[in-house]
Amino acid sequence: MPPSEVEYTAIESNVKERARAMRTIKFVVVLGAIVLPAACGGGPDPPPMRAVADVKQLMNAMIDPAADELWDKSGYIITAAGTEERRPQNDEEWEQARHHAITITESANLLMIAPRAKDGDVWMKQAQELMDQGQAIWRAADAKDVDKLFTIGGDLYESCVHCHEKYIDEIVNATK
């Protein structure tokens, strides 16, 4: 082949490779423009979250009963007659403890929905703390760990007291 034909073939080959590369780049850009918005929330709107019960109703119906049941199933009662150990006694009672822990854990999410959320600072941190403790109690129930159930139950009690001191009007006014 004469040198001019070799140069022409090399140039033609280079042009074809660049054209192929440009088509690939265009394809990737178009594909990215289609896929990226869908991956970043381009789907349907999430269902609206709205509070139906107020905080007091939520506490009375869900959180207090679940916490009371957990506290009733952990610890000791010491009387003149002796010491009574309180703990789940069988698989069914451990499962009930687990259900109460799940109720507390998920109730924390409900406390963070407006208009229940009193502020974006302390209220949210305390609700997150409630969630964390609920999850820890959940793990303790799954492990059937009486000591952790007791210890974390005490932590839960302290968290409840701190929140009530800050947010329940009657308690706040009584401590002034």
For 28-52, what is each residue's pLDDT tens digit? Answer: 555 555 655 555 555 677 677 788 8
Helix (H) or strand (E) holding 1: none
The two tokens of residue 56 are 């007091």
The CA distance from 10 to 49, in Å, is 64
Cα–Cα nearest to 113, from 105, 123, 103, 100: 123
Which pLDDT value is given to residue 18?
Answer: 67
The CA distance from 97 to 77, in Å, is 19
For 63-97, what is each residue's pLDDT tens digit? Answer: 999 999 999 998 888 989 999 888 999 999 999 99
The CA distance from 171 to 176, in Å, is 9
| Residue 172 CA from chain centroid, whole number | 29
